[in-house]
Amino acid sequence: MNIKKVIGYSALAGSLVAVSANAAEMSVSGSAKITYMNGNTDEVTGNPYGMNTSLAFTGSGDVNGYETTLTIVQNDANTGLSSAALSVDLGDMGTLTFDQGTGAGGISTIDDKTPSAYEEVWDGLDSVTGTADGKVGGGNSGAFVYANSFADMNLSVQYTKGASASNTDDAVSAGTGGSSYDFALTNQTLMEGLDVGVGYGKISNGTGATLDSDNDEHMVGYVNYSVGQVTVGYTESVISKGKAGATSEQAMGWAVAANLMEGLSVSYGEREVEYQKASSTHVTEDMEGFAIAYTMGAAKIALQQNETTNNGGTAGTNDENTEIALSLSF
């Protein structure tokens, strides 16, 4: 249930730096998720039960003739905001957003678009430092995002500095590296049921290298097709490292999802990531995942089983994760 409240000039001016006394609408939405997690057999077994909570505050109104929206998200027990975004709608000229971690745009919005009843096939698996599992994008903190549509093509462009390190006002972040830019181009109108997209970026790798490039090249493409109650999808991505001797990554994945009845859906997917090591044999990581979910109103219960071999490009290193989740939206 949304809690909506009309606020006047004094509150909106403090949040949106408005200079007019136009009223605006402020809304609050929330969610809670209780999970049971069961990891790999070699992992420490503790309390498998956990809870995630989230509150999202959204305020919008006319600021000097432009529709302006402020979003603030607070997750779990954080004392401050978890993420925020400030957007200005420029009409036919598009929308300009300053993003502080919400993931408002850019190539990361299409890092893995394969269909799923719950989460992606890599969700919950152990991440390996220095690897990305073929997922493109360099973060969304301190990012400027421009979005617009041209002839049914949706464009989202993102620009950041300092390896997208989070930063407060009146300060400079400690992030190293140069500038990053990336974009996502998507279309859902080429034919009925078809959703396609491509993305490209030059992402700062944070090395500040002088002899090698301090940018990595990110590329991704996907195609999803829905017919009746079934959706199939395929995606490919490449992360080409700019620093000499670094490991590049090439990934491909596919998935199929189906609605079995009202509220009940299932999915299965696989993903391969080839770690192209500069001075040793390439290693391919293989992932697969199954999910089933039932949604009734604002409640959703889901079961997902994901597993991988050669995790993070290390031969013989495996991982798996089983999750049961109850999600509620308010």
For 286-299, how does the pLDDT look when each residue is reduced to its tens digit (9 = 90+)?
A: 999 999 999 999 99
Instruction: Please write the tens of the pLDDT for every residue from 194-219.
Output: 999 999 999 988 766 555 677 899 99
Instruction: Tell me whether residue 35 is in a domain.
Output: no
Phi, psi of 9 (to 5 degrees): -60, -45
Output the pLDDT for position 243.
84
- Band of residue 139 on the pLDDT scale cut at 50, 70, 90: confident
What does the pLDDT average to over 173-193?
Answer: 87
Asked if residue 108 has pLDDT above 80, the reply is: yes
Instruction: Tell me whether residue 142 is in a domain.
Output: yes
Which of 154, 136, 155, 140 lies closest to 219 in space, CA to CA? 136
Does residue 283 contact residue 310 with C-beta atoms inside 8 Å?
yes
CATH code, domain carrying 221: 2.40.160.10
What does the pLDDT average to over 116-138?
Answer: 92
Q: Give the total number of structural domains in the chain.
A: 1
Output the pLDDT for position 82.
82
Instruction: Tell me whether residue 21 is in a domain.
Output: no
Residues 6+ apart with CB under 8 A from 146: 94, 95, 96, 97, 105, 155, 156, 157
Name the residue range of residue 296's domain.
90-329
d(CA 52, CA 62): 34
Considering the entire predicted model, what is its pTM? 0.86
Instruction: Tell me whether residue 9 is in a domain.
Output: no
d(CA 48, CA 27): 34
Instruction: Tell me whether residue 137 is in a domain.
Output: yes
Q: What is the mean pLDDT of the chain?
A: 87
User: Looking up tokens 């219960």, which residue turns up?
Assistant: 301
Output the CA angle 209-213-218, nearest 5 degrees: 125
Instruction: Tell me whether residue 34 is in a domain.
Output: no
Output the pLDDT for position 78.
58
Output the pLDDT for position 178.
77
Output helix, strand, coil percentages for the chain, rounded to the nearest 5: 5, 55, 40
Instruction: Tell me whether residue 259 is in a domain.
Output: yes
Instruction: Tell me whether residue 41 is in a domain.
Output: no
Instruction: Please write the tens of the pLDDT for every residue from 74-107.
Output: 887 655 568 999 999 999 999 999 999 999 999 9
Output the pLDDT for position 24.
64
What does the pLDDT average to over 36-41?
Answer: 89
Within 10 Å of residue 113's Cβ, how many Cβ atoms? 23
User: Looking up tokens 């830019």, which residue turns up?
Assistant: 181
